[in-house]
Amino acid sequence: MSVLKITKNNFAQEVENSDKPVLLDFWASWCGPCRMLSPIVEQVAEETINKAKVGKINVDEEPELAQAFRVMSIPTLVVMKNGKVVKSSVGFKSKDAILSMLR
């Protein structure tokens, strides 16, 4: 399974009710650092295929979710376990840094 597109319609099912940790990438198409981060997020999704879920949330298409997570700057990465935020970071991150967030 590759990166999921997370919307307010599938958020509860894919994120809140997930039995695995979920990495959320808040991004926008006009954001340069978001575009640089995108292939890394894809690699993380492939490498953690049975251990975690990876979802992308477009802040322009899902402003309610961005607001709910108080996203002020993008890219913002959020790790959720059991429906709760356990880690978050703002800005570009290396693949190793993202993988360690998920551990």
Catalytic residue ranges:
31, 34
Cis, bond preceding 33 (omega within 30 deg of 0): no
Instruction: Kindly tell me the sign of the dihedral angle through the C-alpha atoms of 46, 52, 53, 56.
Output: negative
Sheet architecture: strand order including 4-5: 4-5, 53-58, 22-27, 76-81, 84-90
